[in-house]
Chains A and B, each alone.
Chain A
Amino acid sequence: MFDNPTIANTVGAIFTLFIFSYLWKENALYRLAEHIYVGLSAGYIVTMNWHTTLKPAIQQEIAVDKQYYLITAIIIGLLMYTRYFPKIAWLARIPMSIWVGYGVGYVLVFSPAPFITQITNSFQKFSAKYTTWYGTNTVNNILFFIFLIGTMMYFFFTVKRDNPIMVGGATIGRYVLMLAFGSAFGNTVQGRVSLFIGRCQYLLGDWLHLIK
């Protein structure tokens, strides 16, 4: 069974069809596939977390490499399970607040670099060698700058839109956003369609051998 590609593809194809049946209506076959899928995903995580993270941490890093500070990590993590015991449930807030603190620190440390890159990339020289009307050229560089500033103005929260610059900027910004969203939507269609093409090639080709 485990070496036979026909069985493998048939199993895969049946589950594929179960999931597609949701498009028509939520139904028993979809529910079956959904629950098996969620169950498998959870089983996978249990296996992987144990074999690739916890076991090496305990057996190797703590026991052999003597990285004893990791014991505190495990204890703090285990405090999460106190939430099932009402009397000591508040202890679960300890790991939670540490994680949130880590998250906040992480944002404050690792956001500046990409933020700066975005800023410096916006320092644009207007004059440029003309390539094509839709590619690099001076007009497009100036337009980019105007669009960028206008869209940023759109986001002001507390600045009143009572002067022509603010109104103009925000209006440009609104239209630029619509162009951006429309084009990003259109650009994504291609990728999403190719996902289904992939499933068709699997069903019609790998499974049924109707495509050479």
Chain B
Amino acid sequence: MIFAEGMIADLLVMLVCVVLVFVFIYRARGGMKVPAIRKINGLEAIDEAIGRATEMGRPVHMTSGLGAVSDAETFAFWAVLGHVAKQCARYDTRIINTNYDEQVYAINEEIIRQAYLEAGRPDAFNRDDVRFISNWQFAYAAGTLGIFQREKVAANIMVGYFMAEALVFAEAAYQAGAIQIAGTTATAQLPFFIAACDYCLIGEEIYAASAYLSKDPILVGSVVGQDWTRIGLFALIIIGTVIANFMADPKKSPLYVFLKNK
């Protein structure tokens, strides 16, 4: 047997998702006309937020929350960070990035440095504005709260994986008078971002960020692939529901056996 026992369903499901994305990236490369992504207010507002900070002459703050380098949320954050850092470098707006995870911190510093380099202003990059605070959740929150107030942050952009500190950040940044854009996949924290922030990216909307912000047709192609995966998911759920309702013993149907036999 070439495939690991109990992992075949996992592998197949993963491959279907990944291959669909790949197919549309491939087709977009080949010149397929890609449709527009629906308006996502939270992403639309990013440039507005940077603009506001620029006008006020105050910094933009960015955080990826508690995500590690092995969290997909952090990958999404990097796409947004790359964009924001480039804009900030271009408009000479200070960008502060606070961190919870050392590994993410190191990578973030590279991203921001590179953005300044590409904007032709490597000298304007300030290493001290990319800061590691603590890898304890609330020590990280405490340090960041202080920064919101002391640095008078004008825009606060939070994208990534968050836990209870989400609302601490959102309220403290509100008190500091910052415009806020927040996005996370953590369903438990979304309600607080919805309530306390100006714009909110819900769940997978953060994964469309790279395509949305860059408008690169190839990346948009991958988002089309995401939508096709969703259509596949619909089909699967409907078939599963039909089986659950019309088969005498659904647990014995091939689909159930395949998906549950892990």
- Given a CB threshold of 8 Å, the question of whether A touches B is answered with yes
Interface size of A in residues (CB-CB distance below 8 Å): 58
CB within 8 Å of A: which B58-89 residues: 68-72, 74-75
- The answer to the question of B226 belonging to the interface, with a C-beta cut-off of 8 Å to chain A, is yes
Q: Is the CB of A157 within 8 A of B38?
A: yes
Stretch at the interface among A59-67, A116-124, A201-209: A116-124
A44 to B187, CA, bound (A): 31
Stretch of B44-52, B140-148, B154-162 that contacts chain A: B140-148
Asked if A122 and B240 make an inter-chain contact with CB atoms under 8 angstroms apart, the answer reads: yes
Q: How many residues of B contact A (CB 8 A)?
A: 66
Chain A residues with CB under 8 A of B260: 120
With an 8 A cutoff between CB atoms, is B91 at the interface? Answer: no
Q: Are B262 and A113 closer than 8 Å at their CB atoms?
A: yes
| CB-nearest residue of chain A to B221 | A158
Contacts of A102 in B (CB 8 A): 69-70
Whether B38 contacts A156 by the Cβ 8 Å rule is: yes
Known: A111-B14, A120-B256. A103 touches B70 (CB 8 A): yes
Q: Hey, which chain A residues are within 8 Å of B233, CB to CB?
A: 119, 152
Q: Is B237 within 8 A of A158, CB to CB?
A: no
Which residues of B are found within 8 Å of A112, using beta-carbon distances? Answer: 9-11, 13-14
Contact of A157 with B223 in the complex, beta carbons under 8 Å: yes
A157 contacts B37, C-beta separation under 8 Å: yes
Within 8 A of A (CB), among B11-36: 11, 13-14, 18, 34-36
Distance of A148 Cα from B256 Cα, bound (Å)? 20
Query: With contacts A41-B136, A99-B69, A157-B37 known, is A116 near B262, CB below 8 A?
Result: yes
Q: Which partner residue on chain B sits nearest A30 by CB separation?
A: B146
Contact bitstring B160-203, A, C-beta under 8 A = 1, else 0: 00000000000000000000000000011011101100000011
Q: How far is the CA of A184 from the CA of B75 in the complex (A)?
A: 27
**B96 contacts chain A at the CB level, 8 A cutoff:** no
Question: Which of B18, B133, B226 is A38 in contact with, Cβ under 8 Å?
Answer: B133
Question: Is there an interface contact between B191 and A92, defined as CB atoms closer than 8 Å?
Answer: no
**B70 near A107 (CB under 8 angstroms)?**
yes
Quote the shortest CB–CB distance from B217 to chain A (angstroms): 12
- What are the residues of chain A within 8 A of B133 when measuring CB–CB? 38
A169 to B192 alpha-carbon distance, docked (Å) = 25
Closest to B102 in A: A80
Is B240 a contact of A120 with CB atoms below 8 Å?
yes
Which A residues are in CB contact (< 8 Å) with B256? 120, 123
Task: Give 9 A-B pairs besides A34-B146, A45-B135, A92-B110 with Cβ atoms closer than 8 angstroms.
Answer: A34-B143, A37-B142, A83-B106, A83-B109, A92-B106, A99-B107, A158-B34, A158-B227, A188-B188
15 interchain pairs (CB within 8 A)?
A: A33-B142, A34-B143, A83-B109, A93-B110, A103-B69, A103-B71, A107-B72, A111-B72, A119-B233, A119-B237, A120-B240, A155-B203, A155-B204, A158-B38, A158-B227
**What residues make up the interface of B, taking CB atoms closer than 8 Å to A?**
9-11, 13-14, 18, 34-38, 68-72, 74-75, 103, 106-107, 109-110, 133-136, 139, 142-143, 145-146, 149-150, 187-188, 190-192, 194-195, 202-205, 208, 220, 223-224, 226-227, 230, 233-234, 236-237, 240-241, 243-245, 250, 256, 259-260, 262
* 6 pairs of A and B residues whose beta carbons are closest in the complex: A123-B240, A103-B70, A112-B10, A41-B139, A185-B191, A26-B149
